[in-house]
Chains A and B, each alone.
Chain A
Amino acid sequence: MLLKSNVQKWCGLLFAAILLLLLMCVSIVYGYTDTTWKMAVDAFTAFDGSNEHLIIQSVRLPRALIAAAVGASLAIAGVLLQTITKNPLAAPEIFGINAGAGFAVVVTVTLFSLSNLQIFTWISFLGAAVSFILVYIIGSIGRDGLTPMKLTLAGAAMSAMFASMTQGFLVINETALEQVLFWLAGSVAGRKLETLLSVLPYLIAGWGLALLISNKLNVLSMGEDVAKGLGLKTGMLKIWSGVIIVLLSGGAVAVAGPIAFIGIVIPHLTRAVVGIDHRWVIPFSALFGGILLLIADTASRFIIMPQEVPVGVMTAVIGTPFFVYIARKGFNK
């Protein structure tokens, strides 16, 4: 644990918030189109209709906001999943939640050619919820109930199933492939601000609820029996956590497609910094999640310029070694 006293933690939180804002500014200023800090300021204070100003206002700004919001949401969803399943490898993508939401969206796009944002969001929530519930049920079947191993296996199976079915749909319908491929790889680029605004209420609700239940999550992390003995309604808490997870990851996927590894990496990183108290872990991982996705997204513009690497690929490159590390460490106990 890096930050020990409460004063240190408050300072850390402030510092992380400033860093997040700074990275959002960096994300707005730096990219393929040459822009300067002055231009960025002018674009909002003295808009002149130039190409640069347009890019800053309608491309870069939404992109920075989306990266921050999606990163924060996936990170919190990861914290909640890891706590309620007692599984260090749990994350929205491991549970097949991202794949489920992705599949639902692809089916809707290919079969009904829907482009209404509001419906898009709801379809994504629905897909996230269905796969979360399926994985939870499959992981609980059998004598010894819900175990981390069974959950991970169920999640892997559901992920594979949804991914294959998604591919199947795309093979049948090639025009849809064009539309959704970039989205499927996970990206925060080329989204309009309205896309974010349509899910933002759900994301904000998810963040707020996650903070509200943070103390109860501390009790639950002591084990099911101890928590029940202390008078915690563990069943209710898990249902609420499930709702929050679906809101956050369903919302994030609707905007940015399935971006992997934020939900795994950030909770562990955060616990290394602030310890295991969820009242700190949740706000910190939200900020760290936003920071990581902003860094990955900004970096993705410079790796194979003038082309961009989808940010989902970037997070996977960062996340895979980390995943292996946790897998080696986590199942030892």
Chain B
Amino acid sequence: MTANQAISTKQLTLSYGDTTIINELDLEIPKGEITVFIGGNGCGKSTLLRSIARLLKPKSGAVLLDGEAIARLSTKDVARKMAILPQSPSAPEGLTVLQLVKQGRYPYQTWLKQWTAEDEEKVNNALEATGLMKLKDRAVDSLSGGQRQRAWIAMTLAQDTDTILLDEPTTYLDMTHQIEILDLLFELNEKEQRTIVMVLHDLNLACRYAHNVVAIKDQKIYAQGKPEVVINCSLVKNVFEMECEVTIDPLFGTPLCIPYGKGRCILKQERLSRNG
């Protein structure tokens, strides 16, 4: 265990009832990088993220945060080191953006110390970073999908943790807002070296934004590493059970996966002739 690991798991086994989801997993998540979990539906990537965030109790094994077993730390101590944004969270009706972001300071509050200048500053920074200053008095449920997700991210930022976990932060967002959210997270990582761990469905976006991808298959890690090293046709075939070509993103140079399948192929003639 070196200081370069933000989070690691030791022999982690997760299950729902008798169904094992993750089996004796050893994983190390590097500090200061963006790590993305990928895998097919139901492979356990969200379950793994939830377990790292202590939302799900492991059947056996342990999650270590900065080298300490998470189960041994007080839950408020954990909340000062690691924030989690669950999948499609819902705010109570009428909650304003400011009220939402302020809740991020809950781990720092005690009976005696309710609200401090530092809390105020962190909340303002979070609103600033997510560009929500002007919308702070609006109700969260009146915002567009992208703005709403930014408000939730602002809450996790106000939590002022080195590590942020996000479970499918781009679900239900259109392409523009997906990029907007991922750009925001990328900037946070670049500027403040926050460790970001998230589950993403879009493999190509994962390749673009992640320093490190973890592909999960059959209760285990199938592969882990830089996308340009680990993402290839055979990985996609084995992890997603899909035939594809992997080429290079013409804008970013990161791997770009193009699935085979049916559809309106206007290159058919050409490909047929190439394959003989």
Residues of A within 8 A of B (CB): 1, 215, 218-219, 221-223, 225-226, 228-233, 271, 275-277
Contact yes or no, A230 B89, CB < 8 A: no
- Complex CA–CA separation, A225 to B168 (angstroms): 14
Q: Does B95 contact A (CB under 8 A)?
A: yes
**Which A residues lie within 8 Å of B79 (CB)?**
229-231
**Which A residues lie within 8 Å of B74 (CB)?**
231
What 1/0 mask marks residues of chain B from 46 to 83 whose CB sits below 8 Å from any chain A CB? Answer: 00001001110000000000000000001111111001
- Complex CA–CA separation, A122 to B86 (angstroms): 42
Beyond the given A225-B89, A226-B155, A229-B85, please list 16 additional residue pairs across the A-B interface where CB-CB is below 8 A: A222-B103, A223-B90, A226-B84, A226-B103, A228-B55, A228-B75, A229-B84, A229-B86, A230-B103, A230-B106, A230-B159, A231-B75, A231-B77, A231-B80, A271-B94, A277-B99
Q: Does B192 contact A (CB under 8 A)?
A: no
- Complex CA–CA separation, A223 to B100 (angstroms): 12
- Complex CA–CA separation, A247 to B104 (angstroms): 32
Contact yes or no, B93 A223, CB < 8 A: no
What 1/0 mask marks residues of chain B from 16 to 55 whose CB sits below 8 Å from any chain A CB? Answer: 0000000000000000000000000000000000100111
- Among A218, A221, A222, A231, contact of B76 (Cβ-Cβ < 8 Å): A231
* Chain A proximity of B143: nearest CB distance (Å): 15
- Complex CA–CA separation, A169 to B74 (angstroms): 51
**Which B residues lie within 8 Å of A230 (CB)?**
79, 103-104, 106-107, 159
**Which A residues lie within 8 Å of B50 (CB)?**
225
Q: Does B91 contact A (CB under 8 A)?
A: yes
Interface class of chain A by DSSP: loop
The interface centre, meaning the residue of A215, A222, A223, A225 with most chain B CB atoms within 10 A of its CB, is A222
Contact yes or no, A276 B95, CB < 8 A: yes
Residues of B within 8 A of A (CB): 50, 53-55, 74-80, 83-86, 89-95, 99-100, 103-104, 106-107, 109, 155, 159
Contact yes or no, A276 B92, CB < 8 A: yes
* Chain B proximity of A232: nearest CB distance (Å): 7
Q: Given A231-B106, A231-B107, A232-B106, do A225 and B84 touch, yes or no (CB 8 Å)? A: yes
By beta carbon, the residue of chain A nearest B74 is A231
Contact yes or no, A229 B94, CB < 8 A: no
By beta carbon, the residue of chain A nearest B108 is A231
- Complex CA–CA separation, A225 to B93 (angstroms): 17
Contact yes or no, A229 B103, CB < 8 A: no
By beta carbon, the residue of chain A nearest B80 is A231
- Complex CA–CA separation, A233 to B50 (angstroms): 16
- Complex CA–CA separation, A228 to B76 (angstroms): 9
Contact yes or no, B100 A231, CB < 8 A: no
Q: Given A219-B103, A277-B99, do A229 and B92 touch, yes or no (CB 8 Å)? A: no
By beta carbon, the residue of chain A nearest B91 is A222
**Which B residues lie within 8 Å of A215 (CB)?**
109
- Complex CA–CA separation, A276 to B139 (angstroms): 11
* Chain A proximity of B190: nearest CB distance (Å): 24
* Chain B proximity of A153: nearest CB distance (Å): 22
By beta carbon, the residue of chain A nearest B79 is A231
By beta carbon, the residue of chain A nearest B86 is A225
**Which B residues lie within 8 Å of A232 (CB)?**
75, 106
**Which A residues lie within 8 Å of B86 (CB)?**
223, 225-226, 229
Contact yes or no, B76 A229, CB < 8 A: no
* Chain B proximity of A89: nearest CB distance (Å): 15
* Chain B proximity of A309: nearest CB distance (Å): 35
- Complex CA–CA separation, A232 to B100 (angstroms): 15
**Which B residues lie within 8 Å of A221 (CB)?**
92
- Among A226, A228, A276, contact of B54 (Cβ-Cβ < 8 Å): A228
By beta carbon, the residue of chain B nearest A221 is B92
- Among B54, B55, B75, B92, contact of A222 (Cβ-Cβ < 8 Å): B92
- Complex CA–CA separation, A294 to B174 (angstroms): 53
Contact yes or no, B78 A231, CB < 8 A: yes
Contact yes or no, B55 A229, CB < 8 A: yes
By beta carbon, the residue of chain B nearest A225 is B86
* Chain B proximity of A294: nearest CB distance (Å): 28
A-B contact pairs, 15 of them (CB 8 A): A221-B92, A222-B95, A223-B86, A225-B55, A225-B86, A226-B103, A229-B86, A230-B79, A231-B78, A231-B106, A232-B75, A276-B92, A276-B94, A276-B95, A277-B99
- Complex CA–CA separation, A232 to B108 (angstroms): 11
